[in-house]
Chains A and B, each alone.
Chain A
Amino acid sequence: MNLAAQTHGFLSPTGVEIAFLLVGLATFGAALVTVTTKQLVHAALWLVVTLGGLAVEYLLLTAEFIAWVQVLIYVGSVVVLLLFGLMLTKAPIGRSPDADSPNRWAALAVAVVAAAALVWVVADAFRTTWIDLDGTAAGTTRVTGEYLFRNWVLPFEALSVLLLAALVGAIVLSRKAKADAAGPPGRTATTPTPADGGGDRAPTPGDSDRAPTPGDSDRAPTPGDSDRTPAPGGGDRTTTPRGGDRSAEEGAR
């Protein structure tokens, strides 16, 4: 490494380094916007920019298979999953002023201190280390296939089992949530709450599908439910009627 350090000047910018620096600045800026923007959907879209910038960085580091895997899995599926999650939890489209916690200044202090410590340690430790990017690429598809299926077969297969378990787990969680969500309408239809202030919630003809099913007979209101009625003064925070909720929930099923 000392020989390499002598052949390079300190922070001598080559073309690859300049490209890496520019793409890195764009990536870091997009990441900052991702964690600070007030618009939830925009955060997901800026995350696309961040992940795409990281894919370009992988390409500059000659790890091209990982770059395309990054584009396929992160940009192609993870961000789409996040957008679906935002839609299914009815995230507000416009600016939401309560997107950040009130203790974000403490979080900012922690992050800045951690960044300063990490950057200092890393830059001091690898000050005289250069990556040799010339010659054959380090991560072409051929090389990747060779090391993955020659040296890493067993972890690869274990990972496939883990993915299957995660898939089944996600399906089980979603189905159980659906079964629980089908219960409360039948139960609450028989016990109107005091906060249900009257005429604005008149039943419409389209609601006939929410009649209590015979399977709900075991969900009759028990005395234990009496503590679920809200305090008279406490209902002003979250009982604001939200218009499109039921239609969106119906679409989610």
Chain B
Amino acid sequence: MHLVYPAVLSALLFCTGLYGVLARRNAILVLMSVELMLNAVNLNLVAFDVWLSRTAVETLHSGQALTLFTIAIAAAEIGIGLAIVLAVYRNRGTSDIDRLRDAAEGPDDDSDPGRDSDAAATARAAEKAEATP
């Protein structure tokens, strides 16, 4: 098989995941896009390992071993990531990462604090209003 096929598919999947990470607002959709990027890397590792295991003398199958490790680390990452997203959701009432701007700094900070603190206050108020019987 031509090595270009898996390599190009991997590059396209990685850039799809890149678009998803940059363009999505929901934190869980961002995590899905991160999974896409990790899978693109896995495909690359497997393809190059299958190629090198036939051409090189001793490769230790490092590509496939690294793929297994990447899968395990991705599982750990998705668990921790979802725990963080749930904690943020319980505190803020939203999982929209465009609204989580409490740590924002810089030149935007001069015009933003009113709006941001207002949004944060309304989010807290919404949480209170929902929690209040």
Residues of A within 8 A of B (CB): 1, 8, 11, 14, 16-17, 20-21, 24, 27-28, 31-32, 34-35, 40, 43-44, 47, 50-51, 54, 57-58, 60-63, 65-66, 69-70, 73-74, 77-78, 81-82, 84-86, 88-89, 91, 98-101, 103-104, 106-108, 110-112, 114-115, 118-119, 122-123, 126-127, 129-133, 135, 138-139, 143-144, 147-148, 151-152, 155-156, 159, 162-163, 166-167, 169-171, 173-174, 176-178, 180-181, 184-185, 188-189, 192-193, 195-196, 201, 203-204, 207, 210, 227-231, 234-235, 237-242, 245-246
CB distance from A118 to the nearest CB of B (A): 4
- Chain B interface residue count, CB cutoff 8 Å, equals 89
Can you identify 23 A-B contacts, CB atoms within 8 angstroms?
A16-B1, A24-B5, A28-B13, A31-B17, A34-B36, A43-B29, A61-B46, A63-B49, A99-B24, A106-B22, A126-B4, A126-B7, A138-B53, A151-B65, A159-B69, A162-B73, A171-B83, A177-B86, A188-B131, A237-B119, A237-B122, A238-B126, A240-B126
CA distance A249 to B65 in the complex (A): 41
List the 4 shortest-distance A-B pairs measured between CB atoms, nearest first: A107-B22, A35-B20, A166-B76, A111-B19
CB pair B39 A193 closer than 8 Å: no
A93 to chain B, nearest CB (A): 14
Q: Does chain A have a CB within 8 A of B100?
A: no
**Out of B5, B25, B31, which one reaches A101, CB within 8 Å?**
B25
CA distance A156 to B71 in the complex (A): 12
**Interfacial chain A residues near B6, Cβ < 8 Å:** 20, 24, 57, 61
B22 (CB) vs chain A CBs: closest residue: A107
Contact A170 B79 (CB under 8 A): yes
Interchain CB contact under 8 A, B83 and A174: yes
Q: Which residue of B lies closest to A246 (CB)?
A: B130
Chain A residue with minimal CB distance to B117? A227
Docked CA distance A89–B131 (Å): 15
Q: Which residues of B contact A193 (CB under 8 A)?
A: 125, 128-129, 132
Q: How far is the CB of B121 from chain A (nearest CB, A)?
A: 5
CB pair A78 B75 closer than 8 Å: yes
Extra pairs beyond A60-B1, A111-B19, A133-B1 (20, CB < 8 Å)? A14-B1, A20-B9, A24-B5, A34-B32, A82-B28, A82-B78, A99-B29, A100-B25, A108-B19, A115-B11, A126-B4, A138-B64, A147-B65, A151-B60, A155-B69, A156-B69, A185-B133, A228-B124, A230-B122, A240-B126
Return chain A residues, CB-CB under 8 Å to B36. Answer: 31, 34-35, 47, 50
Q: In the docked arrangement, what's the CA distance between A239 and B47, Å?
A: 51
> Which residues of the other chain, A, contact B89 by a CB distance below 8 angstroms?
88-89
B23 at the interface (CB under 8 A from A): yes
